[in-house]
Amino acid sequence: MDRRAFFDLVRKGILGPTLDGDEVSGCEAILDAMDGAPISWCAYALATAYHETAHTMQPIKEYGGDRYFFRMYDPKGERPALASGMGNIYPGDGVKFCGRGYVQLTWRNNYKRAGEKLGYPLEGNPDLAMRPDIAAQIMRRGMDEGWFTGKAFDHFLPKQGAATRDQFVEARRIINGKDKATAIADYAVTFQRALQGAGW
């Protein structure tokens, strides 16, 4: 793929009219992680990151702060059974294993699985999920294998050729049900056109 052509096309569309260094480096990390994937999968990964990062294309830490993370994820918080079931068994785990990255990896069990599959010590150092290259690999592997909701790329998107907008709408189920599904589908259509124009 001609990455210069890709960036020229997204500059005219979704990320334009100018691109800053963070937008470029974030897209590069995702393109690297998606290498060899079908075009619709790559487009949807880019669109998901664009939405989940408030258009910055950089991994982010979940909003809310320590008190919120304690309430939501800590074994001493408001959902102790869920927390324990997801591996958050020690005081402080709620803050330690809050959402990070392009797709908000959350809970000790999920950090442990991602780390084991990708070869990074994510359970011991969850902030590694904030590195764009690692965040992009987590997103790719998780969307390939259905880590987040049990749904994966191949449940909704073609392995050959372009996806339709309707297929992209349904693909939101890979990450978060139907929340903002139509907006993200529109982003995916735009990214898919740029990928096509650049020869993906």
Structural domains present in the chain: 3-59+132-197 (no CATH), 61-129 (3.30.20)
50 phi, psi to nearest 5 deg: -55, -45
Which stretches within the chain are classed as H helix?
Answer: 3-12, 21-33, 39-52, 65-73, 80-85, 93-96, 108-118, 132-145, 153-156, 165-171, 181-197
The pTM assigned to this predicted structure is 0.94
The whole-number mean pLDDT for each consecutive block of 10 residues of the chain, a chain of 200 residues, reads 96 84 96 98 98 95 96 97 97 97 97 98 98 98 96 98 98 93 97 97
Cβ-in-10-Å burial (0-12, 13-18, 19+) of 62 comes to middle
Assign residue 92 a region: left if phi > 0, alpha if psi is -120 to 50, beta otherwise?
Answer: left
pLDDT of residue 146: 96
pLDDT of residue 15: 80
pLDDT of residue 19: 87
pLDDT of residue 140: 98
Q: How far is CA 93 from CA 84, 88, 128, 133, 160, in A?
A: 10, 5, 16, 24, 42
Of 58, 102, 95, 47, the closest CA to residue 73 belongs to 95
pLDDT digits over 17-59, tens only? 888 999 999 999 999 999 999 999 999 999 999 999 999 999 9
Count of beta carbons in the 10 Å neighbourhood of residue 156: 20
Which tokens sit at 125? 């150092």
